[in-house]
Structure 1
Amino acid sequence: MDCNAAARLVAIFLFSPSCRLISLPQPLSPTGFVWDRHWMVINSKGRGCTQRVEPKLAMVQVELPLEAFSLGWKPNNSSYLVVRAPGMAELKVSLAKPCLLSDGVSVWEWSGSAWDEGDEAARWFTDYLGKPSRLVRFNEESETRPINPHYASGFNVKFTDLSPFHLISEASLDAVNEQLKEPISINRFRPNIFVNGCESFAEDLWKQIKINDSTFQNVMLCPRCKIPNINQEDGKHGSEPTATMMKFRSYKVLEVNTVTTQYRGRVYIGQMLVCEDSKGKIVSVGDIIEVESVFPSYADVAV
């Protein structure tokens, strides 16, 4: 495997809330791409809802104004997050700071307060999901959510699962699709950074890379939950690609270094990243991926 083959960034994806992909050039921030994972749907107990428990979220589409992706841009009263879904009227959520706070919001191990996007958004998601739901925004003014120190110390995220950035190569997706009866799209794996020009799974061993003068470090191989098995077009759940990938992308097959037992029994594709020097930086489609260092083998890669 040639881990140093020249690669290039071919797409940037955002997620807001736990719904479909948005592909746009992006400024960086210490917690990930600007506007990425700012929003989350919560249930009546304040617990975050994702496609794992609400597959219908796969069919929710969101749109942000193009100017929102300029460095230093600030929202005003006419700036909106637009939310759409089959059978639902369009929802407009103001990007100006909300007035309400929801306490006791939780996702995975974290709990705290979040901005509440109001009753109109709550009714929209309640009607769509068929159960009491609200839309909340991460409260950057008073809350922080540190990454698990087992993997990276001193970095924070918003409503992301594990780390601020997630990278997969096109060749890796192609290698998975070669084993499947029905090919799947990259949206099943939900990366932020999609690259091409390298060999399949070469990114597994990238220890440190640079994109447009910003340095990214490997946190861990990405353990896959059941979201890749959800068809992002209709929200239906199946057994693929996980069933097939278990034959060649499990931790036992790869013989990776399992720091904890939490992710044993998973399949792996893509890597989780942190960025050391994100302030004021932008990455764009077409940027070269400079591989600065690699791991000697899978035994040196943490999961």
Structure 2
Amino acid sequence: MIRLSSLHIYPIKSTAGIGLERAFVERAGLAFDRRFVLTDNDGQFLTARRHPRLLQVRATPTSDGLVLSATGCSDLRLRYDDFPAAYRTISVWNDQIEGQHCSDSADRWFSEWLGLECSLRYFGTRSSRQTDRAPLSPVAFADGYPLLLIGEASLADLNSRLPAPVAMAQFRPNLVISGSDAFAEDSWRRIRIGSLELEPVKPCARCVLTTIDPVTAERHPRQEPLRTLTGYRRDSEGQVNFGQNLVPLGEGVLEVGMEVEILA
């Protein structure tokens, strides 16, 4: 039987993930997932691809905001109600999005951590963005789609080919499943978990971020596991795929241990 084995959110794009036992799924993805993003002074989004230290920032959701923490730094508590009604157009890939400013203190906190001037933005009430493949489906600051799913067997297949195994955290999925064959998720067209139906819409093309250790923030000297993935997971367009991007077809609660039904 195929089951949901773990759930993860990443409150700020390119920071450490948080494992959950249950989570509410909105049309834009798991609640609190990738609702914050850092930008430079020109409004361009910043990620751990170029700034690996972001992976060592812990962002913990609270009932009314977020707590930021990192080794050697004082914790910073943010409250949604304190965010000013100040928006700026920011860029996430080719999308232009209105991002709400969080606070000057958050800007200073991250600027000191990264060693460059930056600003923390929130996906607020004036923010809007849709996916490419499913234009009626909203998405926040994720790379392109609301959810990412990977099977444990797919990771086991990859690890069997690597000089040293890597953890699932290196691929930053929201949903991890057990009980399926390796890469079975590539052939799914619609699934149901609990009462929620989800549509896999596109394989996830992997990048250099997979070569950065999420704990140490160090890059692998031989570009693993991307190097090995390139040898057997490259598609006809040259993309190296691992995992499936999903669009939720409604809202609902997901809980670890729920059965995953393959509808098509």
TM-score category, normalised to shorter length: over 0.9
1:286 and 2:257 correspond? yes
Alignment partner, residue 3 of structure 1: none
Which residue is equivalent to 2:215?
233
SS at match of 1:199: coil
Q: Any residues of structure 2 matched to 1:1-303 within 5 Å, and which?
A: 6-18=1-13, 19-24=15-20, 25-65=22-62, 68=63, 79-96=64-81, 98-139=83-124, 141-148=125-132, 151-238=133-220, 239-252=223-236, 264-278=237-251, 281-293=252-264
What do residues 56-104 of structure 1 show as CA deviations (whole Å, max 9, x unaligned)?
Answer: 1111111123xx4xxxxxxxxxx34111112222111113361142312
Q: Gaps spanning 5+ residues in structure 2: where?
A: none
Amino acid aligned to 2:66: L
Distance in 1, Cα, partners of 2:102 & 2:144: 24
How many residues are matched?
Answer: 260
Residue 55 of structure 1, CA deviation = 1.0
Aligned partners of 2:135 and 2:155: how far apart in 1? 30
- Aligned-partner SS, 1:216: strand
2:108 is matched by which residue type in structure 1? R
TM-score (norm: length of structure 1): 0.83
1-side partners of 2:78 and 2:165: how far apart?
35
2:98–2:128 CA contact under 8 A, matched in 1: no
Is the 8 Å Cα contact of residues 27 and 283 (structure 1) preserved in structure 2? yes
Asked whether the equivalents of residues 42 and 135 of structure 1 are also in contact (C-alpha less than 8 Å), the reply is: yes
How far did 1:181 drift? 1.0
Query: Residue type matched to 1:137 in 2?
Result: Y
Could you tell me how far 1:266 is from its partner in structure 2? Answer: 2.6
CA-based RMSD: 1.3
The separation in 2 between residues aligned to 1:118 and 1:83, in whole angstroms, is: 13
CA-to-aligned-CA distance 1:247-300 (integer Å, 9 cap, x gap):
111114xxxxxxxxxxx333111101111121xx1011111000011xxxxxxx
User: 1:101–1:113: 8 Å Cα contact kept in structure 2?
Assistant: no
Q: What letter is aligned with 1:282? A: V
Partner in structure 2 of residue 260 of structure 1: none
Aligned partner of 1:211: which letter?
I
Question: Is contact 1:31-1:155 (8 Å) kept?
Answer: yes
CA contact (8 A) 1:63 1:82 kept: yes
Q: Percent identity?
A: 29
* Secondary structure in 1 matching 2:159: helix
2:54 match: secondary structure:
helix
CA drift of 1:48 comes to 0.8
* Greater alpha carbon shift after TM alignment, 45-54 vs 95-104: 95-104
Aligned residue identity for 1:116: H
Q: What is the distance in 2 between the residues matched to 1:177 and 1:158? A: 31
How far did 1:137 drift?
0.3
